Amino acid sequence: MDKIDQYAVFGNPIKHSKSPQIHTAFAEQTGQALHYRAHKVEVGRFADAAAQFFKNGGKGLNITVPFKLDAYDFADELSGRARRAGAVNTLALGDDQRIYGDNTDGVGMVRDIKDNLGWEVHNRRILILGAGGAVRGILGPLLKQAPTQVTIANRTAEKAQTLAEMFAERGEVQGGGFDGLAGRQFDLIINGTSASMSGDLPPLPSQLLSNEGCAYDMMYGAEPTPFMRWAAAETAWAVSDGLGMLVEQAAESFCIWRGVRPDTKPVIDMIRQSLSA
């Protein structure tokens, strides 16, 4: 009997990861024989754990917090979007036994916003909250959609300005602090901060959203996040969390590994139901 291909997600913490459910569903749907599990890796031990995984016959890894920079350093070869993001969330073993690093977060989010939600990105004024690794990962694919402008706002204005400068050649990007947002309006606001995880909300002025403005939180949960509740109170035209992004970035990883793209909608629905169960 042929040995079943092994895949995994590395993170810390990892207990609540939905990746095993998602990839198992993808495999069943596409008729792929594989096994996928979650591994908690100790901080400082990523390179050893990843090397051991591939040495033991592993074919691919998803990488979550806090190891995306470690995975970037571990890869033998990087995709253009991984290089621009400065982080890797997908590792794949190539036919030449080299480890290929990619970042599927941004393309996953854009696919969720455009294809699943039906929102427009092209020619829209976009505000991104936060300037950490999560935001850096989405900027390239977002700018590829040619929005009118992208503004990055962060508690530390300098971090937002530095990030804007890094991506300035790819479109109209500016960065600053939250205090510079008063009196401005945006068609799409994306929350890339971790505030939702602690039940907090960035200090946002009112009337930030245009009449047809949409709000997207990269976090997700069984209940609407504080950011989503704020946006609804601001009469956003549409509001969404990032569950679709989670599934779409996983589908992109699956396609890199297996060469087949799964149907994400039934998997998004399945995970959504499991959250409220």
Sheet holding 58-63, edge to edge: 34-40, 5-11, 58-63, 90-93, 99-102, 77-78
> In this predicted model, what pLDDT tens digit does every residue of 93-118 receive, in sequence order?
999 999 999 999 999 999 999 999 99
Q: Residue 133 has what pLDDT?
A: 83
Cα(107)–Cα(248) distance, integer angstroms = 8
Q: Residue 25 has what pLDDT?
A: 98
Q: Is 218 annotated as a binding residue?
A: yes
Quick one: pLDDT band at residue 2, thresholds 50, 70, 90?
Answer: low
Q: What is the mean pLDDT of the chain?
A: 94
Q: Which of 60-64, 195-199, 203-207, 221-225 has the lowest mean pLDDT?
A: 195-199
Q: Residue 167 has what pLDDT?
A: 95
Q: Is 125 annotated as a binding residue?
A: no
Quick one: pLDDT band at residue 1, thresholds 50, 70, 90?
Answer: very low
Q: Residue 32 has what pLDDT?
A: 95
Q: Residue 200 has what pLDDT?
A: 81
DSSP state of 245: H
Q: Is residue 34 classed as helix, strand or coil in its secondary structure?
A: strand
Is the pLDDT confidence value at 75 over 80? Answer: yes
Q: Residue 194 has what pLDDT?
A: 81
Contacts (Cβ under 8 Å, ≥6 apart) of 223: none
Arithmetic mean of pLDDT, 257-267:
97
User: Which residue(s) pair with 191 in the sheet?
Assistant: 129, 217
Q: Is residue 105 classed as helix, strand or coil in its secondary structure?
A: helix
- Write out 142-158 in H/E/C secondary structure: HHCCCCCEEEEEECCHH
**Contact (Cβ atoms closer than 8 angstroms) between residue 180 and residue 129:** no
> In this predicted model, what pLDDT tens digit does every residue of 116-125 receive, in sequence order?
999 999 999 9
**Contact (Cβ atoms closer than 8 angstroms) between residue 71 and residue 50:** yes
Q: Is 211 annotated as a binding residue?
A: no
Q: Is 155 annotated as a binding residue?
A: yes
Q: Is 274 annotated as a binding residue?
A: no
Of 40, 55, 59, 68, which is the active-site residue?
68
Is the pLDDT confidence value at 277 over 90? Answer: no
Q: Residue 195 has what pLDDT?
A: 77
**Contact (Cβ atoms closer than 8 angstroms) between residue 205 and residue 181:** yes
Q: Residue 259 has what pLDDT?
A: 97
The full set of domains in the chain, from first to last, is 5-102+244-276 (3.40.50.10860), 106-240 (3.40.50.720)
Arithmetic mean of pLDDT, 71-97:
96
User: Which residue(s) pair with 238 in the sheet?
Assistant: 214
Is the pLDDT confidence value at 198 over 90? Answer: no
Residue whose tokens read 């080299």: 98
Q: Is 151 annotated as a binding residue?
A: no
Higher pLDDT, 225 or 235: 225
Q: Quick one: which of 81, 32, 34, 80 has its CA closest to 58?
A: 34
Amino acid identity, position 53: F
Q: Is 216 annotated as a binding residue?
A: no
Q: Is 18 annotated as a binding residue?
A: yes
Per the annotation, the verdict on 3 as an active-site residue is no
Q: Quick one: which of 195, 159, 193, 186 has its CA closest to 175?
A: 159
Q: Residue 132 has what pLDDT?
A: 87
pTM of the model: 0.95
Q: Is 17 annotated as a binding residue?
A: yes
As given in the structure block, the two tokens for residue 109 are 């989010």
